[in-house]
Structure 1
Amino acid sequence: MSDDQTETAVEHEAPVKDAKPVKKARPPFLPWFLVILLLAAIAWIGWRTYGPNRMGDPIGTTLVSFEKQNRLVVFTAEFAPVVASKDSRFFGALQSRQIAVIPARVDYSVDLSKMDRSRLSWNAETQTMDVRLPALELSKPNLDEARAKYMREGLWITRDAEDDLSRNNTQIAEREALDSARSPALMELARASARAAVQQNIAVPLAAAGYRGITVEVSFDGDTPRKPGSPAKAATKAAEKTSTR
């Protein structure tokens, strides 16, 4: 290769060796934009947590908590009624008798689908929510015939007679279980359990919405108004402590 050609090659390569990467200028406002965005996010979180709109309508908040469950089982009672029935066939020639002990369970529930604004009252001055529930409803007795015990008497008990005796005893056991479940003592226990459950179901979402230190008074259709200072306040306080743990 000639000297002239070598010099020409060097002249072409020199600009490549001396070239430096060009850095793009970063907009001077970008760091401030990020800081402003961060401050706006913090302000939004604080507003959502402590802002005035966080303290929404307490009645609306309560109704939303009721919508999550249409029926609330508040109490369950178990019984073991002892029942007996007789059967007569062939003009009284065949007499039979069956004694049965059939375990039964009855559920006490509140139909929350009936709850609307007319059943709720909020006193902002005393921070008290008054709730009027529908009357308690009792379920059909659930008989556990797999654990039932039978004792039969008779010289000869036909298959039809045995079926009739068992069917009659089942009907009697259902009636006796319902009668026992309607006793004043059990009804009061179920109502007390319903009050405590509803108080907690209301106090927890209201506390989350910013209403703390409230009182929830629960009554049923037909009840007289509860007096101030009733046990409802203590139950509400306990539910509120549970929600803050």
Structure 2
Amino acid sequence: MANNKLTTDETSSTELPSDPPAPRREKSLARVQAVPWLLFIGMMALAAFLGWRAYAPDDLGDPLATSLTAFEKRNELTVFSASLSPVVASTDSRLFGAIKSRQVAVIPAQVNYTLNMGAVDASRLRWNEANDTLSVQLPPVQVGKPNLDSARAQYLREGIWITSDAQDKLTRDNTRLAEQQAVKQAANPVLMDLARTAAKEAVYQNLAIPLQVAGYGDVKIQIRFDGEEESQ
């Protein structure tokens, strides 16, 4: 967080006579010249509005087709990301157990949660024309493969003598364990709820804007996942 001796100088000045006021005739002339242009612009805007009212189609099209277009723009949508720090440990034994070593590792991991937008077809959409409501049923959120940041990993090794082969094996084992642990942590119900909430918000934005552009206005969008009860 970012955490002034003020001096004043007294100066004398001589008042000069102010300039005479600018003639108002030029301002009045400018206003008179601008009136025809303002009237012309106003008439053009009115004509455009009346033309749109006269020739705009009463049927805006199929809202389901408009919504499906929003889904078809991308097959996979990353809706959430979690930073995890799995703590794992592995052991190594050599020379019939005479030389033992152990390694504890903390390996930061990044896990993305994605939504398969390509799986959303017309069967997952329903339009209620009576109350302008679009109902959407989404497939489950998928947990991606953890991206381990080995450059920021921290290791604690124990053993009287740790050979290079033993150290490499301990690191490989801990990397595998860290990936498994990250997948388990990412499936935590709290993180999954956050991912589903983020997915609903992302899908809402992907649907609301195209529907507004198509002329449907502020429609109501109800989004749920497979297995969730539909809100009334």
Q: Distance in 2 between matches of 1:193 and 1:152?
A: 40
Give deviations 1:26-77, integer Å, cap 9, x for gaps: xxxxxxxxxxxx9xx9699737994235x11110001111111110110001
Give deviations 1:119-163, integer Å, cap 9, x for gaps: 000001111100011111010110000111111111111121111
Q: Does 1:137 align with 2:131?
A: no
Deviation at 1:164, TM superposition (A): 1.1
* RMSD (Å), alpha carbons: 2.1
Q: Distance in 1 between matches of 2:63 and 2:182?
A: 40
Give 3-state SS (helix, strand or coil) of 2:97's partner.
Answer: coil
Q: Distance in 2 between matches of 1:142 and 1:188?
A: 21
Q: How does 1:84-95 map to 2 (within 5 A)?
A: 84-95=89-100
Q: How does 1:221-236 map to 2 (within 5 A)?
A: 221-226=226-231, 228=232
Q: Does 1:181 align with 2:186?
A: yes
Q: Point out where structure 1 has 5 or more consecutive residues left out of the alignment.
A: 1-37, 229-245
Q: Which portions of structure 1, spanning 4 or more consecutive aligned residues, are displaced by more than 3 angstroms?
A: 41-45, 47-50
Match of 2:124 in 1: 119
**CA 1:146–1:45: 2 relative to 1, 3 Å:** farther
Q: Distance in 2 between matches of 1:194 and 1:45?
A: 41
> Identity of aligned pairs, percent?
49
Q: Point out where structure 2 has 5 or more consecutive residues left out of the alignment.
A: 1-43
Match of 1:58 in 2: 63
Amino acid at match of 1:114: A
Give deviations 1:80-116, integer Å, cap 9, x for gaps: 1111110001100110011111000111110011111
Q: Distance in 2 between matches of 1:214 and 1:42?
A: 26
Match of 1:29 in 2: none
Amino acid at match of 1:93: A
Contact 2:140 2:225 in 1 (8 A): yes
Q: How does 1:144-223 map to 2 (within 5 A)?
A: 144-223=149-228
**The structure with more radius of gyration:** 1
**CA 1:56–1:48: 2 relative to 1, 3 Å:** farther
Q: Relative to total residues, which structure has the larger helix share, 1 or 2?
A: 1
